[in-house]
Each structure stands twice: as C-alpha cells, then as structure tokens.
Chains A and B, each alone.
Chain A
Amino acid sequence: MSVTQPVLSVRDLRVEFVTRRGVLKAIDGISFDIGKGEVLGVVGESGAGKSVTGSAVIGLIDPPGRIAGGEILLSGMRIDNLPPEEMRKIRGKRIGMIFQDPLTSLNPLYRVSEQLVETIRTHTNLAAGAARKRAIDLLAEVGIPAPDRRIDSYPHEFSGGMRQRVVIALALCAEPELIIADEPTTALDVSVQAQIISLLKRLGREHGTAIMLVTHDMGVIAETADRVAVMYAGRIAEIGPVRDVVKNPLHPYAKGLMGAIPSLENDTDRLVQIPGSMPRLSAIPPGCPFNPRCPFVFDRCRIERPEPVQHSQHRVACHLYDQSPVRSEAVA
C-alpha cells in the first residue's frame, strides 16, 4: 500500500431512488477522497444528500434505493459491489459509525459492558477479561467518568452527551480505518457539542482514523474538519481546505451559505439571504441545480451542468470558474 493512498475514495458516485413518480437522483456524480487521519466535513442543507452519501459508503442503501454508478474504495479495495455478508464484516470492523441519535447504535436492553465486549470480541481475538479491560479503557478515552463502574449501566442511565461518548467508544472498538459520523452533535447542547467535537478531533489525530463528518452546521465543520465538501442537490458544489472554503468560498451557493450564518464577532443588519429553497429531487432544474436561486446566473447555467474544476486549492462546480467554451452537445 502506498503512503499516499486515501483511506476512502469515492468516484463519480450515483445513488437513485426508484419511486412511483420516477427515478430520483439523490446523489448525482460526486467524487472525493479522505486521507489517513483526515477529517472531511460534508455540509449542506437538509436533503442535499449528505446522509445518503454516508449510507452508500457503509453499504446501507436499501431498496428502493440503489447505487446506480461509480465506485467506492476503502484503502484501495472496492467495497460498493461486495455481497451483503462481506460488507457486514467491514462495517464495525473497518468502518465505524456514529449517528445523531445514539440510541440507534445502542441496544436499550443490554448493559453497555455487554455491547462493548461483544463488539470487541467479534472484531478481535481478545478473551472476555481482556475485552472488558479494553472496553473500560475506551470509555476512559472518550471521557466517561468512573468507567469501571459506569460500564455496567444501561444506555438510558447515561445523559445524551454521555451516550454519544459510549457510541464513539463502540465505533472505536475495532480500531476502524474510517469513521462515518452523521450529525453526531446535532441533538446535543452547545457545551456538550464542544466536548464531543474536541474528542473526535483528538481521535482522528491520535489513531490516524479518517473521519467523514456529516453535519448541516458550518461551525462544527470549521472547528473540526481539515477539508470540507459543500453539497447541494446531490452534488458537490465546492470542496477544498476548510479555511479556504470558510473564509473565501467561491461557489455562489457556498458564499450565500457562509453569509447567512449569524456571527458572534461581526454586526450585520441583514444576513445574506439566498432566495427560495433547495429543489425537491423530482424538480431539480436542468443545467446547474442552483440556477433559479443564483444571483450570478447566466444563460449557460440553465442548459449545461457545471463540472467540478480546480481553482487554486478548491474544486468548484460553477461556470463562473470554468473558462471552456459552451459544449454544443450539452444543450438539452
């Protein structure tokens, strides 16, 4: 394995939902990589396709959904076409998962100790005693006070923030290469959120785990991620180093998104307001999906889909940054 090989590589991924009203393209050709120890933030409004992207990576797109194209590679190995049995082994062992509601990952009927020990023993060859010791170490690592006593509690005996820590411990059991965290702090209060964010950051750094952090909260991304992908209507509008994208967004949607966030530092009378709302999947406009809301829209945007182009450190899917002439075959 070469040093530079990404842990996760997503190539031109397409995900569709087959419904009565036709085939809906939830993910329409997205590509990105995540390197070892790197946190990629995925941000965008609800319905942009963030969770579906995460589900595709962990092989949990269920009918009527289907992966309709592209490839997903985990450390160079293709995983999007594995049989369900193989994929189940990869989940939990090589890819850990953290969701918004910790109770989706925890069984309410079993003590935390049972769930951690079982997961550790499924993925390692540790004996019961050693697995329990490792479980206690993990709980300590994620910041559960008095872990040797708390380990025998049931999930409901923990607060929301503590439960999310338990889920992170569970995701770490098998020392996965990749963690998919989908809105892990959205249900938490800001003071608890801050603790979970710094925990995720530290884990990425110390274990070299690659993290895909999905959230609608740009603040969480700014705080945690190394790079960020801004999604809109199933596509990546812009991707680049987090500082560049946050401070100097290029895509008109990313610009609007940043300006819409009220700031703790600056006074503004009016927030930047993007008119309208994101289109439903059944009504995505032709050309650039952002064109009905875009203040910079021009003719080409309504007919030709903008492909991502490299612009300094960013990759942007917007005709403003693409100097190539209009391709005639693109006219629909």
Chain B
Amino acid sequence: MTERPYVEVNDLRRVFDVSKPWLNRVLEGGERQFLKAVDGVTFDIKKGETFALVGESGSGKSTVARMVVGLLPPTTGEVIIDGVSMSSRAASGDRQRLRRRIQMIFQDPYASLNPRWQVDRIVAEPIRAFRLIEGERDIAARVAELLTFVGLHPADGKKYPHEFSGGQRQRIAIARALASNAEFIVCDEPTSALDVSVQAQILNLMRDLQDRLGLTYLFISHNLAVVRHMASRIGVMYLGRIVEISDGRELFSHPKHPYTRMLLDAVPDVGMTGRQRIPVSGEIPNPINPPSGCTFNPRCPLANQRCVAEIPALFGGVACHAVHEGRANAHAA
C-alpha cells in the first residue's frame, strides 16, 4: 500500500454569488449571477514536497489556497490534511491541533503584519496563542532563534514592520509562520511584489527551510519560471479548473494541454535561446459567463464540436479532448 498523501484536495468547488443586491434586481431586473471560482479541483501533496499551482489572474489560485488553509469554506469538496478532514464537524479537536501546523504566507507581507506591534511580538504571537512555550525568557530565546533562522538579526525584533524592506518583511512573515512549528505552508504569490534579487533571497530561504525542517509547501504563483524552480509537481489552472497536472520537468519539456503550451510560449525568453513559439491569441473570458464545454475553446487551435459541447475530464494528468483523442501531437510538431 502506498503512503497516504499529507494533503488531499478532493473535487473542491467554490461558487460566489455575484448578483446585484436584491433591491437592484427587483428595480432594474436581472437574474441572480454566480461565479464558479474553483470547479472540481483535485490534487494531493506528499510530505516534504512542493506542489505548485500556476495560472493567470482570476484562475482561482487564491481561492483554492484560502480553502486549503480553512479561511474559506468550500461549496463542495473536501480538504484532508494528515488524515484529518478540514470540513467535518466531528473531530473538531483534531482540526484545532491541525490549524497550528498549517500556515499561510501572502504576497503583501505588510498587510499581514500588525504595523503597531514590534517584530518580537508579531513572531511570538503564535507561540503564545498555541501555548507552545511557557515563560517569557524561553519565548524570547525562541523568537531570536527564529529571526536568525530567516536571516534577520535578533535585534531586529525591537523594530516595527515599516522599518523593513519588502523582502525583510517577507522574512518576518516566514518567521511567524515557523513560530507555530508549522509543517505545511501555503504560499500565495510570496515573491510577486519583490524585485528579482530579493525574490532570489526569499526563494533560496524557503528551499533551505524546507530541507532543514521537512516542510511541505503549496506554492502559488503566476510566474512559470518561479514555479519551475520551486516545485516538483505542478498544476496549471485556467478559469477555476486544473487543466494539466504533472511532474515539473515533464510539464516544461513536454507540455500537453494547449493552454499550457500557449502559456509557456508567452513567457519572455530571458535566456535568448531563440526558441520557436506560436503567438498567443485572445484573452481570458468573463468567468461569470464562461464558454460552454471546454472553457479554453475560443482560444484553442485544436477546438472542435466536442470541445464546445462537453467539458473534458482530467484524465492522465490532462483535461483536453484533443490530447485524449490523440490528435494533439500532430499539432505540436
């Protein structure tokens, strides 16, 4: 029997009601409107692994992240972490214990750090909340250790968040996440607001911490190169669905789904390798009223009648009729 994955995400869906307020609907007319932000997302993550979700804005990455950490209830579907369902009402004690082991890091560390607290207090907060260490001396020692861990100086604990640069603030957010002895960290665009040289520092730090502490990451980014660098497995999202899921290397060397191929072709070629690329066409459609069948069909060079009628299932790591029918490869040549 194979080992049970650490994180299991099963058929997650999230629908938002984006209707106009009731009174406006009565006065001005108009139907209730729903937006399927996440639709049937399934993946799992092994312990100590980095799994990434990549996709353009609005594809549903942050909504998945918020459901995985329990900040947002799914409409349907389930998240199971270390065997404990995040949604069941039954074993709430287990879920409480689990909460401590799951942390999240956001794109904008400033928004997630209390500006009126000194860094010491910010980092110590989870330690106090979960009563992990008793006694102020020991807490202070642990905070100093955590700050050193993320490349800051223990003396930085006496400063306020605004006294730090963006990259240093992200280090503070990481120190706070580690303070609760987290095992699983959901990172939503953690370096998207940082300059590349600072991004490199943070990505290196995250990998070092993973090696030292055996952390499991769900890593979310719109940047394909960053995702390739960080993750061993990757899911590509388009309009709320995973359209391709695969081993990182395989995804980049042999992308199968037409959207994945288009996305890879769109990335500027910083290595100036002169690789041949197909020009990108079209834009992401309105998610409130998405195209029927495969939502990528208006932009897809391989679309046919079936694609307009029938939503392709994720099968063999790809959700695409052309791939399933074996008529995608001719096109790639």
Residues of chain A having any CB pair with chain B under 8 Å: 45-46, 159, 161-162, 189-195, 197-198, 216-220, 222-223, 242-243, 246-247, 256-257, 259-266, 268-275, 277-278
Most buried by A among B222, B229, B270, B273: B270
B271 part of interface (Cβ distance < 8 Å): yes
Count B interface residues, CB 8 Å. Answer: 40
- Expressed in whole angstroms, the minimum distance between the Cβ of A248 and any Cβ of chain B is 11
Known: A194-B279, A261-B225. 6 other contacts (CB 8 A): A189-B284, A191-B280, A198-B279, A219-B267, A222-B271, A262-B203
B228 part of interface (Cβ distance < 8 Å): yes
Q: In chain A, what residue has the closest Cβ to B299? A: A191
Instruction: Name the contact of A223 in the complex, choosing from B57, B198, B262, B268 (C-beta under 8 A).
Output: B268
Question: Across the interface, do B229 and A192 meet the contact criterion of CB distance under 8 Å?
Answer: no
B3 part of interface (Cβ distance < 8 Å): no
B252 neighbours in A (Cβ, 8 Å): 264
Question: Across the interface, do A190 and B197 meet the contact criterion of CB distance under 8 Å?
Answer: no
B129 part of interface (Cβ distance < 8 Å): no
B209 part of interface (Cβ distance < 8 Å): no
CA distance A229 to B20 in the complex (A): 49
A242 neighbours in B (Cβ, 8 Å): 272
B204 neighbours in A (Cβ, 8 Å): 270-271, 273
Question: Across the interface, do A190 and B224 meet the contact criterion of CB distance under 8 Å?
Answer: yes
- Expressed in whole angstroms, the minimum distance between the Cβ of B76 and any Cβ of chain A is 28
Question: Across the interface, do A189 and B56 meet the contact criterion of CB distance under 8 Å?
Answer: yes
CA distance A130 to B184 in the complex (A): 63
Q: In chain A, what residue has the closest Cβ to B279? A: A198
- Expressed in whole angstroms, the minimum distance between the Cβ of B62 and any Cβ of chain A is 14
CA distance A46 to B226 in the complex (A): 19
- Expressed in whole angstroms, the minimum distance between the Cβ of A261 and any Cβ of chain B is 5
- Expressed in whole angstroms, the minimum distance between the Cβ of A159 and any Cβ of chain B is 6
Question: Across the interface, do B200 and A190 meet the contact criterion of CB distance under 8 Å?
Answer: no
CA distance A257 to B228 in the complex (A): 19
Question: Across the interface, do A262 and B225 meet the contact criterion of CB distance under 8 Å?
Answer: yes
CA distance A264 to B248 in the complex (A): 11
B258 part of interface (Cβ distance < 8 Å): no
- Expressed in whole angstroms, the minimum distance between the Cβ of A195 and any Cβ of chain B is 6
Q: A264-B228, A268-B229, A277-B165 are in contact. Are A219 and B269 (CB under 8 A)?
A: yes
Question: Across the interface, do A262 and B269 meet the contact criterion of CB distance under 8 Å?
Answer: no
Question: Across the interface, do B270 and A246 meet the contact criterion of CB distance under 8 Å?
Answer: yes
A-B contact pairs, 7 of them (CB 8 A): A45-B196, A189-B222, A190-B56, A191-B262, A222-B270, A264-B269, A269-B207
Question: Across the interface, do B167 and A190 meet the contact criterion of CB distance under 8 Å?
Answer: no
B195 part of interface (Cβ distance < 8 Å): yes
Interface residues of B in 229-255 (CB under 8 A from A): 229, 252
Question: Across the interface, do B200 and A191 meet the contact criterion of CB distance under 8 Å?
Answer: no
Question: Across the interface, do B272 and A222 meet the contact criterion of CB distance under 8 Å?
Answer: yes
B264 part of interface (Cβ distance < 8 Å): yes
B132 part of interface (Cβ distance < 8 Å): no
Question: Across the interface, do B199 and A219 meet the contact criterion of CB distance under 8 Å?
Answer: no
CA distance A64 to B267 in the complex (A): 39
Question: Across the interface, do A191 and B196 meet the contact criterion of CB distance under 8 Å?
Answer: no
Instruction: Name the contact of B263 in the complex, choosing from A190, A197, A218 (C-beta under 8 A).
Output: A190
Q: A189-B284, A194-B266 are in contact. Are A218 and B196 (CB under 8 A)?
A: yes
Interface residues of B in 174-211 (CB under 8 A from A): 195-201, 203-204, 207
Q: In chain B, what residue has the closest Cβ to A268? A: B229
B325 part of interface (Cβ distance < 8 Å): no
- Expressed in whole angstroms, the minimum distance between the Cβ of A1 and any Cβ of chain B is 33
B280 neighbours in A (Cβ, 8 Å): 191-192, 194-195
Question: Across the interface, do B197 and A260 meet the contact criterion of CB distance under 8 Å?
Answer: yes
A256 neighbours in B (Cβ, 8 Å): 197
Question: Across the interface, do A190 and B222 meet the contact criterion of CB distance under 8 Å?
Answer: yes
B229 neighbours in A (Cβ, 8 Å): 262-263, 268, 271
B136 part of interface (Cβ distance < 8 Å): no
A273 neighbours in B (Cβ, 8 Å): 197, 200-201, 204
Closest 9 CB pairs of A and B: A219-B268, A260-B200, A271-B200, A262-B229, A194-B266, A189-B56, A45-B195, A223-B268, A219-B270
Q: A159-B283, A191-B263, A261-B225 are in contact. Are A270 and B268 (CB under 8 A)?
A: no
CA distance A261 to B281 in the complex (A): 26
